[in-house]
Structures are given as structure tokens and as C-alpha cells.
Structure 1
Amino acid sequence: MGRNTLIYCGIDWAERHHDVALVDDTGQLLAKHRTSDDADGYRVLLDLLAEYGDSEADPIPVAIETSRGLLVAVLRTGKRKVIAVNPMAAARYRDRHGVSRKKSDPGDALVLAHILRTDMAIHRPLPDDTDLARAIAVLARAQQDATWNRQQLANQLRSLLREYYPAALEAFSTWQNGLCRPEARELLKVAPTSTQAARLTRAQLRSARKRAGRTRGIDAESERLREIFRGDYAHHPILVEEALGKQMLALLQQLDAACAATDSLAKAVEEVFPQHPDAEIIRSFPGLGLQLGARVLAEIGDDRKRFADARGLKAYAGSAPITRSSGKKHYVGRRMVKNDRLNHAGYLWAFAAINACQGAGAHYRRRRAHGDWHAQAQRHLFNRMLGQLYHCLQNNSLFEEHLAFPSSLAVAA
């Protein structure tokens, strides 16, 4: 049939099947169908849309409660608008259609279709990013998750070592990244208990550090470790200590795998990110290297029409404050609903920029003198630099410090 009226599609997705509902601009239900989550089901879905006038030139918009997966990839082909509706927002819309609080998958699909019919203008479609930007997003997010997982395992290992092996924590306290370093993990494999560590010879310590890839300062560091391991510490009974050592080795295996995964994904990001046209602009900003720059690109994408202005990007990142005003009450505070990944990257970006850029450092110190505490001043700096990044990306220009922080540089001079 032809497209004489506007038609909207809502899809309630699940692990094994998906419920589809089509409504017209008057709210009448035109069709409902349940498709399987496989290639045949996707073809049936596309045939159903085509039956009601879907075409490459005039595709039917689709609302769904996820932004990932093969189903979304199939729907995003061509110029079709795919709107990812937050499940919490969809639940609020469900109350508009009935007060009995009943819920079903076909009913949820119908609610999603009605969301597009009534409020499509206020919901943002998925950005039209390039395939390269999407690939970078996959790798950057995976690397970020692997880094968080590695740190979580390192914290668990540290907590366990505090219970029975304080000598190890003292020995590794001066090393950057501590328990995540290869030599720390190698030493724990050789001596999983403090009793075994006290028996290590200089030759064994040197061999362990060499196996971990160290080539400089081996003798001096081995002597320092030997003195620490032979110090006076409290001990559990031998059987308990050996049991704790076996528990530690099991946790250490997980940490080894997490470190290997993190390093592998970091290498993949470093290979792919420089290929993107926006990489040069992003890396021109102080504090943004390969890994952090890739995380920023992964979250903002390369669709120039995604954000109407810099304020939209700042709100998305959570760096812009939010105002709540009612009558005589007026409150300005930090934004809680945001892209957590971009916000986390912004914290690291601002922290690095303070020392990497004279103007950024002066701006941070001025905010501190104004009364902001550390996190507030960093968030304010991130907010400003994010606006500058938006300007540079829109105008295809590199970061220039004398233009970005003219007053800050004058004060610093």
C-alpha cells in the first residue's frame, strides 16, 4: 500500500523475539506482528514495513528501547530514523494509555509507536556516525571497560593481601600502577605467601624481574625487595596462610587476563583511532592522547548535526549545570543524568590539561580562588574545553591556546 498517511513503528525487543506495532497519524493500529531474532525474522520485519509504504526515499521511523544489536544495525540501513527510547521514559508513557498498570510485549510496542506519533520531535534519533567512528566506539568502550575491570580486580587483590601479606603491599607501594605491573604479578606467582617471600634469594628476585621484562636497576631493586620481604611481620598459621596464598593465586590469574585484555584493546585503539579525520583535531587539545581522545570521539561521534550547539554537547556530557527553579526557590547544581563514559573521560581530560596547558592551569586556579572545590573547578574547565572542541570540530580547525585562554594567559604572564 502507498504512504498516503504518516506511519510510525514501535518495536519491543527481547532475546528470542521482537513485537512490532504500526500506527498511523490518527493513532489507529494498522498491524502488529511478532518476529524471531534471526535473519529470517529481520527479513519478515523489513517486508512488513515495505508492505505499509516503507521505501529508501521515505522510510518509516522506528522507536526501540535499545541502541545496540543486530536488529538495530538492520534498521539503521539507509536513511531510516531509529529512535532509542529510554525504558524509564517508555514506562511513563505507558501510564498515559491505561491506569491498570498492565504490561505486555505487544502493548509496549504499541506504546513506542505512539511515542513517535505524539512526541517524535523531542526524541533524538541515533546519530548518523560513520562506520569508522562506530568501530572506534566499540574498541574505546571495550578498553574502558577492561581498564575498570582490571582496577576492580587489583582492588580485590590488594584487599586480600592486606589480610595476610603486608610485605607485598609495602614492596609494591612505590611502583606506579602497583599490583598491575608485570614484575609485581611475577613476584606474587613465585612467592604467594610472606613465608615463601622471606626465603627468596637475590638470584630468584633478579630472575623474576627479568621474566617480567625489566632490564635496568635490577640489582638495586632486588636488594630492596629482599630487605622488605625479610622484615618482621605478623603471620597466620601455616595452613591458613597457604590457603590464602592459593586464593590469591586464583585471583591473580584473573588479574593477568584482565591486564592482557586491557593491553590488547589499547593497542587496537592506537591502531584505529589515528585513521579518523577528527583524530588530529581532538589530539591537538592538551590532555587528550590516543586512548582518551578515542574515548571522547566514541561518545560524541562524527555526526556534525547530532548537537544543535555546544550547549547540547555540554548537557550530554554532564559538564553544564542544571537549574531547578520554582517560585522563590532557585537551585543550580551538577547534572546527574548524563553520558557517564564521556563525563569520566572529561574528568581525566581536565586533570591532564591543568599541567599540560598553561591557560587551562590558570583557569583552574582562578576557579579554585573563586571558591570552587577541586571537582567543581575541573568540571568547569571540562565544560569550557568541551565547548572549544565543539567549535574546532564544526570549523575543522586545531586547538590554539592563545585563542582558547586569552585572559588566562595574560593573568599567568
Structure 2
Amino acid sequence: MIFVGIDWGERHHDVCIVDPEGQVLAKGRVADGLEGFARVQELIGRHAADAAEVIVGVETDRGLLVEGLVASGYQVFAINPFAASRYRDRHVSSGAKSDPGDAKVLADVVRTDRQNHRQVAGDSARAEAIKVLARAHQRLIWARQRHLNGLRSALREFYPAALLAFGTDLDTGDAVAVLSDASTPTAGRTLRRSTIERLLRSGGRQRRITARASEIQTALRTPQLEAAPQVTTAYGAVVRALLHVIIELNTQITALEGELTSSFEQHADAPIIESLPGLGPVLGARAPAEFGDDSTRYCDAKARKAYAGTAPITRASGTRRTVLARVARNRHLADMCFRWAYASLRASPGVRCYY
């Protein structure tokens, strides 16, 4: 049995191999890529004939390097970088740090404490594909929200009438269509109702067009304090730029949603997941994406709850006992569970009664 620590880097990786007693058998630095991976295989092959006798510790659970190690049949453990830094303090009290030293620390971690860390799961290629799409889709949604926050902040500075007209729904077709044509207070005040109706139709509205146009016209013509003309012109340019970004994000989010739904429907567990209250093709896809589909990955339901961040943590010392929310968690999965809870309230009377 040998234990391998790999300090992962963008351009190169430091490798350290130790035996069960902790003696260093080999160490070195390899380049990132196929040549470097072949060098890692060569170092390991000198000291182990069977892949089952190789245990690897690395500070990431994804990437081509990790996929190659798992495909080679090695037991690969993902060591959280924060945890690895604590192990380093056990070996070096001076605070010194080096990449070769970190590789040795990772090798010692999987040699002595691997039972306390998570082994990289053997998820299917379909689950990995869903994960790539689901996370990209989620990141685009978060990026859109950041730009919407920036748009709202800009409007508050010079165009409060726009917020009166659209509130926080600045990514809707109504808001995007009208504000793209009237990005300043002066332009908003001069909009005729017929023009607003045309803009609403171009934004996709089909009902209450006349009534909604009247509401928007009234709001945009509300008296307000105004910034200097030069400042207003500058903010107008900012609003138009942000709207263009939001429009493109909306387009790409819709496109990725189609890809995600198509990929998820091909997963064997899709019918079971979608049968749960509140889980459709988008939220449902995030379940195999984040939990994975390796049935041996979690030992019980408590482990799944801890990974999702829905299980609290307890701090107890002497007579003092405190229960706190779990901060260290998978934020993608935590967001999915949060939205799932609210969606299930609308989809299931039983869930509503429970909550």
C-alpha cells in the first residue's frame, strides 16, 4: 500500500509518495497535462503493481487530473484546503509553507486520517454532464441577479420613477422593453401611451396591455428630483449597457435550460426525482448534479443533509451547548433545497400542512 499526495496547481503539480510508515518513497514536480499525468503514473508504478493499493489525496474533486486518477482505479480522496492547512500546522509550527511540503501533508492525511474525509465518488458520465450544465445555468442566474442589482442601484440614483413603474421586476419583458427605449427620466416622461403599448407587445405581453401602459405612463410622469443633465446622460448609458447584458443573459439562460432539461430527462433517476413535490426538470436536475448518482457515496440521510447544509451543527463544552446553522456547505445544493422547499409548498397540500 502506498499513499500519494498531490498539491494541485494550474500549471504544475507537486507529487509525494509515502509508505505505510510515512517514509518518503518518491517526490517530484510534474507539468499539467498528459505528459505530467504520465509522469505521475510512472512514479506510482515504481512502487505499486496493483491500482487498488494506491490511495491519493488531492485538494480538489474535479478536473482532468482527478478524472484520470479515478479512471486508473486509484482510491482518490478530496481534502478540503481549509482542513489541509490545519494538518500543515501539526507538522510545521513556524508557519512555513511550500508546495512540496503540502504534497507530503496530503500524503500523510490519507495515510492516517482518510476515514474522516470524502472519497471522490464514481458518478456516471451523465451525472457529471448534468452537473456541468446545472452549475453553469445557476451561475448565469446569479450573474443576472448581480446585474439587476446594479441596474436597480443606478435607477435609484437618477430615475426613481422607473422603480415606481416596475418595482424589482426589472428583468421582465415589460421593464426591458420600456427602459431600453426610455433610459432617462426625460425620455420616460415623453412616452405616449400608444408607444408604451407597442413596447409592451414587443416585450411579450399579451394581456392588460392598455391598462398596464396607463400604469407605466402615470408612474414615469411622476414628479421627481433630477440630477444634472450630464450625470443623467451618463446614467442613461449605464442603464442601456446593463439592459443589453441582462437581455443576453436571459437568452443564454433559456438556451442552457433547454440543454439541461434534455440531459436530465436522459438520466435513469429522472422520473423518480420529478415525482417529488416541487421538483421539475430544472430544480430536479440539480439533485443528481450535486448529490451525484453513486449509491455508495453517502452512508445515510444525515450525511446528505450535512452536505446540503440543512443539518445544524452543535457546539458543546461543559455546561454550554449551542446549535448553529451550518455555514460550510455546498452552496449550489443549498440554493436548490431552499427553492425546492418553497416550490413544494405550492405543489403539495401535505407539505404546506407540514411546514
Is TM (by shorter chain) over 0.5?
yes
SS of the residue 1:147 aligns to: helix
Among 139, 142, 152, the alignment partner of 1:145 is 139
Which residue of structure 2 lines up, in the alignment, with residue 131 of structure 1?
A: 125
Among 286, 307, 314, the alignment partner of 2:305 is 314
Tell me the amino acid that sits aligned with residue 33 of structure 2. Answer: D
CA RMSD after TM alignment: 1.8
Which residue of structure 1 lines up, in the alignment, with residue 32 of structure 2?
A: 37
Distance 1:254 1:59 in 2: 52
Instruction: Describe the shift of the 1:231–1:122 C-alpha distance in structure 2 as closer, same or farther (beyond 3 A).
Output: closer
Paired residues for 1:299-310 under 5 Å:
299-310=290-301
Distance 2:326 2:32 in 1: 37
Contact 2:2 2:53 (8 Å CA) reproduced:
no
Distance 1:329 1:336 in 2: 20
State yes or no: 1:53 paired with 2:67: no
Most deviating of 204-213 and 63-72:
204-213
Among 196, 199, 206, the alignment partner of 2:187 is 196
Paired residues for 1:146-295 under 5 Å:
146-173=140-167, 178-295=169-286
SS of the residue 1:11 aligns to: strand
Q: What are the Cα deviations for residues 208-263 of structure 1, in whole angstroms up to 9, with x where unaligned? A: 22322334433332233223223322222322211211122222222223222322
How far apart are residue 12 of structure 1 and its match?
0.6
Tell me the amino acid that sits aligned with residue 301 of structure 1. Answer: G
Q: What are the Cα deviations for residues 300-348 of structure 1, in whole angstroms up to 9, with x where unaligned? A: 1111111111111112222222222222222233222222222221111
Higher relative contact order (CA 8 A, sep 6+): 2
Distance 1:236 1:95 in 2: 56
Distance 2:149 2:98 in 1: 42
Instruction: Describe the shift of the 1:226–1:49 C-alpha distance in structure 2 as closer, same or farther (beyond 3 A).
Output: same
Contact 1:172 1:184 (8 Å CA) reproduced:
yes
Which residue of structure 2 lines up, in the alignment, with residue 11 of structure 1?
A: 6
SS of the residue 2:44 aligns to: helix
Among 71, 76, 90, the alignment partner of 1:96 is 90
How far apart are residue 197 of structure 1 and its match?
1.2
Contact 2:173 2:205 (8 Å CA) reproduced:
no
Which residue of structure 2 lines up, in the alignment, with residue 374 of structure 1?
A: none
SS of the residue 2:26 aligns to: strand
Distance 1:210 1:357 in 2: 35
SS of the residue 2:322 aligns to: strand
Tell me the amino acid that sits aligned with residue 182 of structure 1. Answer: G
* Alignment gaps of 5+ in structure 2: none
Distance 1:221 1:308 in 2: 55
Q: What are the Cα deviations for residues 362-403 of structure 1, in whole angstroms up to 9, with x where unaligned? A: 211xxxxxxxxxxxxxxxxxxxxxxxxxxxxxxxxxxxxxxx
Most deviating of 182-191 and 299-308:
182-191
Among 75, 86, 92, the alignment partner of 2:69 is 75
Aligned length: 355
Q: Which runs of 4+ in 1 moved over 6 A?
A: none
Contact 1:54 1:60 (8 Å CA) reproduced:
no
Tell me the amino acid that sits aligned with residue 246 of structure 1. Answer: A
How far apart are residue 131 of structure 1 and its match?
0.5
Instruction: Describe the shift of the 1:83–1:249 C-alpha distance in structure 2 as closer, same or farther (beyond 3 A).
Output: same
* Alignment gaps of 5+ in structure 1: 1-5, 365-413
Distance 1:54 1:257 in 2: 53
Contact 1:20 1:106 (8 Å CA) reproduced:
yes
Which residue of structure 2 lines up, in the alignment, with residue 26 of structure 1?
A: 21
- TM-score normalised according to structure 1 size: 0.82
Distance 2:234 2:118 in 1: 55
How far apart are residue 54 of structure 1 and its match?
4.7
Paired residues for 1:352-391 under 5 Å:
352-364=343-355
Contact 1:59 1:79 (8 Å CA) reproduced:
no
How far apart are residue 151 of structure 1 and its match?
0.9
Distance 1:255 1:103 in 2: 44
- TM-score normalised according to structure 2 size: 0.94
Distance 2:256 2:293 in 1: 21
SS of the residue 2:77 aligns to: strand
Contact 1:167 1:228 (8 Å CA) reproduced:
yes
Distance 2:182 2:219 in 1: 13
Tell me the amino acid that sits aligned with residue 36 of structure 2. Answer: G
Distance 2:219 2:88 in 1: 64
SS of the residue 2:54 aligns to: coil
